[in-house]
Amino acid sequence: MAFTIYSTITLLAVIYCTVRPKILNSLELTMIFLLVMYLDSNMMDLITLNIKGIILSKKSQDLFAFYLTFIVLYPLIISCSLDYIRKIQAKLGKVLMILLAVFSIVGLEQGLKYFKVLIYQNWNWSFDVIQWLCIYLITYFLHSLFRNLVLKELKY
Q: How far apart are the C-alpha atoms of 17 and 43, rounded to whole Å?
A: 25
| Size of the chain in residues | 156
Give the contacts of 90 (CB within 8 A, at least 6 positions apart): none
Please calculate the CA angle 54-65-79 and round it to the nearest 5 degrees. Answer: 90
Q: How far apart are the C-alpha atoms of 19 and 13, rounded to whole Å?
A: 10
pLDDT tens digits, one per residue of 6-56:
999 999 999 999 999 999 988 899 999 999 999 999 998 898 888 888 999
Is the pTM higher than 0.85? The answer reads: yes
DSSP, collapsed to helix, strand or coil, labels residue 36 as helix
Question: Sorting pLDDT into bands at 50, 70 and 90, what band is 1?
Answer: confident
